[in-house]
A and B are shown apart, each in its own frame.
Chain A
Amino acid sequence: MSRRGRRTPWLAVLVALIGFAFIALPIIGLVQQVPWRRLWTDLETPEATAALRLSLICSLWATALSVLFGVPLAWVLARVSFPGRSVVRAIVLLPLVVPPVVGGVGLFYAFGLQGLVGQYLYRWFDIQLTYSTAAVIMAETFVAMPFLVITVEAALRSMDRRYEDAAATLGAGPLTVARRVTLPMILPGLIAGAALAWARALGEFGATITFAGNIQGRTQTTPLAVYLLLQSKPEVAVGLSVVLLAVCVAVLALLRERWLGAG
């Protein structure tokens, strides 16, 4: 590097500061609106407790389902080579970039009463998914699972496979290798992926309101309640927002060791 490269590029710093302020200001704006003294009372209103309870249950279910289906999916994408793998990966990762509302519309045409699968669920088993808590969990899993897959796949690809080979050479079956070698080695990645998936599930709005509706106590999760309460009880809406914000901060703090430690 020449000396020129070491000079502080003030213009870049200035632009960076603007960028930082743009992200930080809304968060400061939200936090300074919080009525700290009555925060607890606000969070104890029936709408708020119902929304928080529902959010907790649904996001944990979504995280569990993401792990259950996401880990094998990540393993297949990382270790099995088959034609069209990149297409499959692209489809799996699509919910990361697709507007959640569009995801909700898609879920509706797949699992709604007239949907590809939904019509048979209704006709044969009398199951209606739309406007149910199950629909919330599905919407949240839809948007959250890619986070888990992308993280676990990266962990599987970057791990040293010689340990697996060694275990296999020493007579361990494939399941034992997976349980005793692979899983412990990717565990940090798995935890990080699950945390990201959970945070994303907790914040889900667009797919939920489109596919699951907005029913208090059944499908009205915290983000939906925030939007609806903004008109009638803005202080409760702000209180709920700050709870979501705190969760996001906690997740980032959990991942700090892994990802933010570089600074």
Chain B
Amino acid sequence: MRKHVKLWLVVAVVVALVAAGCSSDGSGSSRGASSTRTTTVSQLDGTINVSDAASLTEAFGKIGRDFTAANARATVTFNPGSSGTLALQIQQTNGAGIDTFASADEENMNKLVAARLIDGAPRIFAKNKLIIVTKPGNPKHVRTLADLAGLGTVSLCGPTVPCGTYAAQVLRAAGVTIPETKVTRGLDVKATLAAVTTGDADAAIVYVTDAATAGRTVGSVTIPDPQNAIATYPIATLRSSASRATSQAFIDYVMSSRGQATLRSFGFLAPS
């Protein structure tokens, strides 16, 4: 009899776990990879939640600290991810919980403008370029984009993630085709970079700023300007925001000389 009770307990636990695995595993565990920071929804003016492109994570972290240091009553939290995913989240929830959107491309911002979810006109606050990163010391001797086609595994952003569309442009312009069976797709630029820094991929195409942040954990190979793509970063307040004034103040700070100096220190290019 006691054995039976035990068996049933085991069975109940297993069913519960399997049900969890079936229904939630896909989106549940994936968020861990792109590290959602606190997403406090507050009606109080002074707290804003910024959905920012993954490539902005470090620079916006610094800008957020500086901004709150200058505005003691303001709180800024970030929700970094692929601009495509962030735009989709905003569209599906009509912007609930998010006050500010900073995208790594104009396409995703324009989607939200077309859906009338944006307050006013977006402002371009930074630009960025692409670069090839390799294992430290470049053991596979990558010199050009064409060399990527001969490697074992190359890490690129997903085809709809901005860094993925930029990388596709760059490769097309250079006439290089990497077989899809050698390409592992990151869900945002940080995941794409991690495949080289903490994974076994031979090389990745990421933003210059990511290579700078990764420092000595990667080797880098410059892509010549004529072949390179310029990433354009727009920022805007969402129409649904309950803290539009704070969001606008944050955007003004990003555009100010201090905000721009911070972006430059992380390797971003001037907006114009």
Question: Which of B46-54, B116-124, B180-188, B237-245 is the interface stretch?
Answer: B180-188
Asked if A199 contacts B22 (CB within 8 A), the reply is: yes
Asked if A157 contacts B7 (CB within 8 A), the reply is: yes
As a 0/1 sequence over residues 194 to 215 of chain A, the CB contacts with chain B under 8 angstroms (1 = contact) are 0010011001111001100111
Tell me the residues in window 117-170 of chain B with beta carbons closer than 8 Å to chain A beta carbons: 152-153, 155, 158-161
Number of interface residues of B (CB under 8 A): 46
Chain A CB within 8 A of B271 CB = no
As a 0/1 sequence over residues 207 to 235 of chain A, the CB contacts with chain B under 8 angstroms (1 = contact) are 00110011111111001001110111010
Chain A CB within 8 A of B84 CB = yes
Asked if A259 contacts B18 (CB within 8 A), the reply is: no
Instruction: Give the most central of B21, B186, B198, B201: most A CB within 10 Å.
Output: B21
- Contact residues in B for A130 (Cβ distance below 8 Å): 153, 199-200
As a 0/1 sequence over residues 201 to 225 of chain B, the CB contacts with chain A under 8 angstroms (1 = contact) are 1000000000000000000000000
Chain B CB within 8 A of A55 CB = no
B216 to chain A, nearest CB (A): 17
Asked if B181 contacts A196 (CB within 8 A), the reply is: no
As a 0/1 sequence over residues 102 to 143 of chain A, the CB contacts with chain B under 8 angstroms (1 = contact) are 000000100011000000000000001011000000000001
CB-CB nearest in chain B for A193: B14
A35 to chain B, nearest CB (A): 17
Chain A CB within 8 A of B82 CB = yes
Asked if B18 contacts A147 (CB within 8 A), the reply is: yes
Chain B CB within 8 A of A177 CB = no
Tell me the residues in window 162-209 of chain A with beta carbons closer than 8 Å to chain B beta carbons: 196, 199-200, 203-206, 209
Chain B CB within 8 A of A245 CB = yes
- Contact residues in A for B37 (Cβ distance below 8 Å): none
Chain A CB within 8 A of B26 CB = yes
Chain A CB within 8 A of B59 CB = no
Q: DSSP class of A's interface residues: helix, strand, loop or mixed?
A: helix
In the complex the two chains form, what is the Cα distance from A137 to B170 in whole Å?
34
Chain A CB within 8 A of B11 CB = yes
Chain B CB within 8 A of A244 CB = yes
In the complex the two chains form, what is the Cα distance from A74 to B185 in whole Å?
38
Chain A CB within 8 A of B66 CB = no
Asked if B29 contacts A206 (CB within 8 A), the reply is: yes
Tell me the residues in window 224-257 of chain A with beta carbons closer than 8 Å to chain B beta carbons: 226-228, 230-232, 234, 241, 244-245, 248, 251-252, 255
A15 to chain B, nearest CB (A): 18
Asked if A215 contacts B184 (CB within 8 A), the reply is: yes
In the complex the two chains form, what is the Cα distance from A249 to B121 in whole Å?
47
Chain A CB within 8 A of B38 CB = no
Tally of contacts, chain A with chain B, CB under 8 A: 143
- Contact residues in B for A145 (Cβ distance below 8 Å): none
- Contact residues in B for A19 (Cβ distance below 8 Å): none
Asked if A203 contacts B182 (CB within 8 A), the reply is: no
Chain B CB within 8 A of A100 CB = yes
CB-CB nearest in chain A for B10: A154
Chain A CB within 8 A of B30 CB = yes
Asked if A232 contacts B181 (CB within 8 A), the reply is: no
Chain B CB within 8 A of A41 CB = no
Asked if B30 contacts A220 (CB within 8 A), the reply is: no
Asked if B30 contacts A108 (CB within 8 A), the reply is: no
Chain A CB within 8 A of B33 CB = yes
B195 to chain A, nearest CB (A): 7
Asked if A203 contacts B4 (CB within 8 A), the reply is: no
Tell me the residues in window 10-54 of chain B with beta carbons closer than 8 Å to chain A beta carbons: 10-11, 13-15, 17-19, 21-23, 25-27, 29-30, 32-33
CB-CB nearest in chain A for B27: A227
Asked if A218 contacts B21 (CB within 8 A), the reply is: no
Asked if B22 contacts A259 (CB within 8 A), the reply is: no
CB-CB nearest in chain B for A109: B198
CB-CB nearest in chain A for B88: A231
CB-CB nearest in chain B for A129: B200
A138 to chain B, nearest CB (A): 14
Asked if B183 contacts A215 (CB within 8 A), the reply is: yes
Chain A CB within 8 A of B3 CB = yes
Asked if A199 contacts B25 (CB within 8 A), the reply is: no
Chain B CB within 8 A of A84 CB = no
- Contact residues in B for A26 (Cβ distance below 8 Å): 23
CB-CB nearest in chain A for B194: A210
Given A108-B198, A214-B187, 5 extra CB contacts under 8 A? A130-B200, A157-B7, A203-B22, A215-B153, A259-B15
A-B contact pairs, 5 of them (CB 8 A): A205-B25, A213-B201, A227-B26, A232-B159, A259-B11
